[in-house]
Amino acid sequence: MFIYKRNNGVWYFQYKDKNGHQKKVSTRSKNKSEALLFLRSFNTQEAEKKIIVPLISEFAKEYFEYAEAALTKRSLCHIKHAFRYLITQFGDILLDEVDSVMLEKDLLKYFSRTKYGAFQVYRTLKSAFNKAKKWKYLKINPFNEFRLPKIPKKTPVFITEQEFQIIAQNIKRKRVYQICFAAFYTGMRLSEVLQLTWDQVDLGNKMINLNNSESFVTKSKKPRSIPMCVKVYELIKLLNERYQPGYAIDRHIVFFKHYGIPYSTSYISHNFRETLSKTGLRKGIKFHTLRHSFASMLVSRGASLYVVKELLGHTDFATTQIYAHLQPENLRKAIDLL
């Protein structure tokens, strides 16, 4: 049982609970005399009955364990980065010592350097601190006390079928070409294409059924079905005829690197960027552009935005509305009603 001073100047009290675990409590004072008074009046038995507010690092560990069961790997990376930022900027202080004023000032500086990076940290920590409030660690979520400026939405980059053919002609590896082809004509995310297994393919009904499993979960957490167009059906059927693994494997990957082993997203993205550099096409095209282009082709040919929403697996219709400007004829018909 002793008190010590942290880098933020505040004195903390450390003791062992009845189970022998180390506990830390803030005296909430930078004055040693006041901290010693706190120590004399502190009752460990009474403290055990109360919820002890954890340090940021302790809460981060607890929250991450909770999130692992519910969120994607990408979201977990965002959580790690956000808490690393918080501790780096303000120190490993108690969770209820995180102040909305200091947060707003620091995040606005961050926002001036990188809008999307700051907004991602803000959104991730706001969600985490809402959970801390629900767990009774906090009475108020400091991230609810302010908002970052809105980020102007950019129109997604699309490519035409002709431009896709230019890209396809420059792809050297056959399997990479097949992966890009499937993404362009199904609208699947890169991770969905790479993790596609044969039990998700229904050749009889010409459907791809993206179901959640232990090894893969869709971004929206909801399963969805995508009908195969003739081009995709012919490709998948050909791959199915040639798929003859000579040994037992756990996962029957469609676009495998070796039998049962998928390509990494980083490898495909890097290969795609290298290919683009040889085409002379405009800047801003990424692998995810293939998904946007699938949606743009459907909308420009008269498909309903609601249908596109279901095919892309968007949770929120507002996300799909970025393609609304591709329906000029529908806008014209609406005005003609006047």
Tens-place pLDDT, residues 316-333: 888 888 887 776 666 666
Report whether pLDDT(105) > 70: yes
Report whether pLDDT(50) > 60: no
Residues 67 and 125 in one domain: yes
* 215/139: higher pLDDT: 139
Q: Which of 26-30, 246-250, 281-285, 291-295 has the lowest mean pLDDT?
A: 246-250
Rounded-to-integer distance, Cα 185 and Cα 191, Å: 15
- In 3-state terms, what secondary structure has residue 226? strand
- In 3-state terms, what secondary structure has residue 337? coil
Residues 318 and 175 in one domain: yes
Residues 169 and 315 in one domain: yes
Residues 45 and 65 in one domain: no
Distance of CA 120 to the CA centre of its chain: 10
Residues 205 and 330 in one domain: yes
Rounded-to-integer distance, Cα 182 and Cα 186, Å: 6
What pLDDT score was predicted for residue 30?
A: 81
Q: What's the whole-number average pLDDT of the chain?
A: 85
Give the mean model confidence (pLDDT) for residues 229-246: 88
How does DSSP assign 112-162, residue by residue? HH-HHHHHHHHHHHHHHHHHHHHTTS-SS-GGGG--PPPPPPPPPP---HH
Report whether pLDDT(250) > 90: no
Residues 260 and 321 in one domain: yes
Give the mean model confidence (pLDDT) for residues 236-245: 86
What pLDDT score was predicted for residue 156?
A: 85
Token pair in block for residue 268: 């495909």
What pLDDT score was predicted for residue 165?
A: 95
* 208/218: higher pLDDT: 208
Spatial contact of 244 and 255, defined as CB atoms under 8 Å apart: no
Report whether pLDDT(313) > 80: yes
Q: What angle do CA 296, 301, 303 make, to 5 degrees?
A: 80
* 67/70: higher pLDDT: 67
**In sequence order, which residues have a C-beta less than 8 Å from that of residue 308 and are 6 or more positions away?**
295, 298, 299, 320, 323
% the chain with pLDDT above 90: 50
pLDDT tens sequence across 31-49: 888 777 777 776 665 555 5
Residues 238 and 111 in one domain: no
What pLDDT score was predicted for residue 247?
A: 60
What pLDDT score was predicted for residue 117?
A: 93
Q: Which domain holds residue 225?
A: 161-334
Let me know if 315 is exposed, middle or buried by CB neighbors in 10 A (0-12, 13-18, 19+). exposed
pLDDT band with cut points at 50, 70 and 90 for residue 193: very high
pLDDT band with cut points at 50, 70 and 90 for residue 251: low
Indicate if the alpha-carbon torsion angle 86, 89, 95, 99 is positive or negative: negative
Give the mean model confidence (pLDDT) for residues 98-118: 93
Residues 196 and 140 in one domain: no
- Which of these three, 145, 169, 195, is where a domain ends? 145
Give the mean model confidence (pLDDT) for residues 57-80: 88
**Inside any domain, residue 154:** no
**Inside any domain, residue 156:** no
Residues 114 and 168 in one domain: no
What pLDDT score was predicted for residue 77?
A: 92
pLDDT band with cut points at 50, 70 and 90 for residue 161: very high
Residues 304 and 283 in one domain: yes
Rounded-to-integer distance, Cα 41 and Cα 220, Å: 51
**Inside any domain, residue 25:** yes
What pLDDT score was predicted for residue 252?
A: 84
pLDDT band with cut points at 50, 70 and 90 for residue 221: confident
Q: Which of 3-7, 243-247, 259-263, 282-286 has the lowest mean pLDDT?
A: 243-247
Residues 293 and 166 in one domain: yes
Q: What angle do CA 88, 82, 8 make, to 5 degrees?
A: 30
Give the mean model confidence (pLDDT) for residues 145-169: 89
Nearest residue to 220 (alpha-carbon basis) of 313, 318, 317:
313
**Inside any domain, residue 151:** no
Give the mean model confidence (pLDDT) for residues 113-131: 94
- In 3-state terms, what secondary structure has residue 11? strand
Spatial contact of 313 and 210, defined as CB atoms under 8 Å apart: yes
What pLDDT score was predicted for residue 45?
A: 57
Rounded-to-integer distance, Cα 190 and Cα 196, Å: 10
Residue 205 sits in a domain whose CATH number is: 1.10.443.10
- Which of these three, 99, 119, 145, is where a domain ends? 145
Residue 127 sits in a domain whose CATH number is: 1.10.150
- Which of these three, 117, 145, 173, is where a domain ends? 145
What pLDDT score was predicted for residue 118?
A: 94
Residues 176 and 318 in one domain: yes
Count of the separate structural domains present in the chain: 3
Residue type, 86: L
Would you put residue 221 in left (φ > 0), alpha (ψ -120 to 50) or beta?
Answer: left
**Inside any domain, residue 127:** yes
